[in-house]
Structure 1
Amino acid sequence: EHETADLRLVKLFGANLPNFVGIYEKPNEPGREIVIGGYGVGTGAPLKTNGKTYGYEWAHIDSRALRIGTNRIESTQDDNELEGLTSDVIIADFDGLHEGSPTTYETIPAVYDSGGGWFVKQRRTWKLAGLSRAVEPHYEQGHDDDPNHVLYESWFRDRSDPSTADADYFDAVRISSYAQWINDRIPSVLPGDLNGDDEVDIADFSVFARQWPRTDCQPPNPCLGADSEPDGDVDWLDLAKFASHWLTANPPH
């Protein structure tokens, strides 16, 4: 957990992740188009004044489905305080069609999207540039004949004068500001450490033994790492390589 920022690292054991991305480390995010993902609520009904749409309700139903959309990073800010945590952030806004700088699938986070990734493409490779942190909220109470009901909304125009653009603000923790902190805490890959606990021991041998002598190993994680060459099978060459790292360990982080 970072000392000041809204950022925490977790370690997964035994995870089979066929697709993952690295972190974006360059401090040149403004102007870059992003893809945003999250498991928050989706888009509800359009909001209108005098027949002109100025935004959308947040959906009533929480389906917890993964949703993605696009936007563009507008700016950055250092030391932005929120709920006792001070983070460097990247900032975007929710533009309406034909105004501001909308992207093809313009999106804005909603409830339950916190911590979702902001991804940029660097030389045809996706990188994690931010983690959703805050969004400008609008809400109405007493909707649908329920005085306790709260309806959240996102706007891209002013409600009282929908001819005027008023794009909602939202931000994410800026990964490039913390790239060194992240890299310092991620250990290097230890050959033979098949269960990810930073040491090569009997637990890893158990993983290796369960894969012996498979001949159907496929990337990106061939036979849970037992096929270390990798050549598609777990054989004596893999066992020799495993044995050469027996009882080695990464330094503690």
Structure 2
Amino acid sequence: MALHLSACAIILYSGDNSANQSAPDAARTAIYNAVARVTNAAGTSSYGTAVHIRGKYILTANHVGGVTYFLLNGSIYQRDPSFSPISFGSVDMKIIKLMTDPGLPEIELYTGNQDIPYETGNNWWNTSTQYTTGTLIGWGRGRDPSDPSGPTWNWGDDSTIAKRWGTNRIEGTASMSYSLGSTNYSYQGLQTKLGRNNGPDEAAMSYYDSGSGLFIEDSGTWKLAGLATSVEASGSSIFSFANNYKNYFVRIRSYASQIEAAIPDLSVYAGWQIDHSLYNSDAEDTADTDYDGVPQILEFALGGDPNQADQNLLPVEQITEISGNRYLEITFNRPQNISGITYSARTTTDLDSWPNNSNGVNPPTVSANGDGTESVTYRRTLALEDADKAYLRMEVSY
């Protein structure tokens, strides 16, 4: 069996290059939009395909080169050059980090066991094998327009490049082992076969299809089940039961936990720093990369963006009247989903002498804002009428 790298293009059984160039239905809009073209700064060249997973992180085949720019829904996104792509041993797969978040919905990874044929029925006489049909989405070349008829379609040139979707039945697993250049790959894969008369949408991978996504529906949600890596024959796609040429994918189920572990955890300070491209001196707690007077540790604690100046996130002092007495308060917003940060308040009547405890400050009042943040208010215990002057500040530590 000869395996050839392929990069992002879908050839349909129908041979219609103009077909299937928009999401097949509303349920699959998110997965269609998540598939990116690996391209140049102008978005005019193709080097492969990638699948946006969530936030700034994108998944593609490890052998795909030129991974500097990605075209997603008409916009170009640049790879973070300071973030080394994360590979997974001998698996033909890697994670790339973008400089900015495309703002797309998260694509879930499939972790079930129905991405391969499974048996249904309770007794030996009525057991049947069930197959799952996946949706394959990729960017790149279609069929050669001069090719007169199928079911064998020769691969076209770059003039046929487009983003297309198609479908194919997943036939089972495959133990993948091959070399591309000086790199040896070995991993658990999925395989599809190119049959005949399975409908006009039956899909085959061609040149520029590596990194394409194979998605399956799971309880109403379309999830990533496979990442395209290789084909069994190069130069043409033969839809024939006699030949049964195969397409191959990384089986996401086998590596889902590793993928999740590799994506930085934004709920902790270290992961947040990586996600915001803070490295070396820019990652120091006191660094201020957006020059707004808010150091990095406080940006994280208050839900700020260290690359976008915003002093409005700083705590605000106010005086509140209760039963005829006035009290000094300090209020700020903080994310609800971060961990490892301790918030506290300090009060004093002398700016040159601050205590190292929260004596004289009531426990905070916390209320949810309904947007993933919560409002926190600290109040001095003593009324202003009982002091000539008073000061209050918030501190964070980790």
TM-score bucket (shorter structure): 0.5 to 0.7
- Determine if the alignment matches structure 1 residue 187 to structure 2 residue 264: yes
- Determine if the alignment matches structure 1 residue 93 to structure 2 residue 193: yes
Cα distance in structure 2, aligned partners of 1:53 and 1:233: 54
- Residue 168 of structure 1 corresponds to which residue in structure 2? 245
- Residue 239 of structure 2 corresponds to which residue in structure 1? 156
Cα distance in structure 2, aligned partners of 1:108 and 1:245: 58
| Bigger mean CA offset, 176-185 vs 55-64 | 55-64
1:239: how far off?
11
- Residue 110 of structure 2 corresponds to which residue in structure 1? 24
Where in structure 2 are the equivalents of 1:38-187 lying within 5 Å? 38-45=138-145, 53-62=150-159, 64-83=161-180, 84-97=184-197, 102=198, 105-138=201-234, 152-157=235-240, 165-187=242-264
Question: Which structure 1 residue ranges, 4+ long, deviate > 6 Å from structure 2?
Answer: 225-230
1:177: how far off?
1.0
| Bigger mean CA offset, 115-124 vs 70-79 | 70-79
1:14 and 1:196 in contact (8 A); partners too: no
- Determine if the alignment matches structure 1 residue 209 to structure 2 residue 310: yes
Cα distance in structure 1, aligned partners of 2:372 and 2:273: 16
The structure whose Rg is larger is: 2
Give the counterpart letter for 2:177 in structure 1: N
The structure showing larger relative contact order (alpha-carbon pairs under 8 Å, at least 6 residues apart) is 1
TM-score using structure 1 length: 0.66
> Relative to 1, partners in 2 of residues 1:9 and 1:61: Cα closer, same or farther, differing over 3 Å?
closer
Cα distance in structure 1, aligned partners of 2:221 and 2:376: 30
Cα distance in structure 1, aligned partners of 2:133 and 2:395: 44
> Relative to 1, partners in 2 of residues 1:9 and 1:232: Cα closer, same or farther, differing over 3 Å?
closer
Q: 2:275 aligns with which of 186, 192, 196?
A: 196
> Relative to 1, partners in 2 of residues 1:63 and 1:81: Cα closer, same or farther, differing over 3 Å?
same
1:80 and 1:88 in contact (8 A); partners too: no
- Residue 92 of structure 2 corresponds to which residue in structure 1? 6
Give the superposed CA RMSD: 3.9
Give the counterpart letter for 1:78 in structure 2: S
Give the counterpart letter for 1:57 in structure 2: N
Give the counterpart letter for 1:22 in structure 2: E
SS of 1:170's equivalent in the other structure is strand
- Residue 137 of structure 2 corresponds to which residue in structure 1? 37
Cα distance in structure 1, aligned partners of 2:309 and 2:201: 45
Where in structure 2 are the equivalents of 1:222-241 lying within 5 Å? 231=370, 237=375
1:16-44 Cα distance to aligned partner (Å, 9 max, x none): 33233011112331221111111120123
User: In the comparison of the two structures, how many residue pairs are matched?
Assistant: 208
SS of 1:71's equivalent in the other structure is strand
Greater strand share, 1 or 2?
2
Cα distance in structure 2, aligned partners of 1:5 and 1:233: 36
1:191: how far off?
7.4
SS of 1:184's equivalent in the other structure is helix
Give the counterpart letter for 1:156 in structure 2: F
> Relative to 1, partners in 2 of residues 1:15 and 1:81: Cα closer, same or farther, differing over 3 Å?
same
Cα distance in structure 2, aligned partners of 1:156 and 1:15: 39
1:73: how far off?
0.5
1:195 and 1:207 in contact (8 A); partners too: no
SS of 2:113's equivalent in the other structure is coil
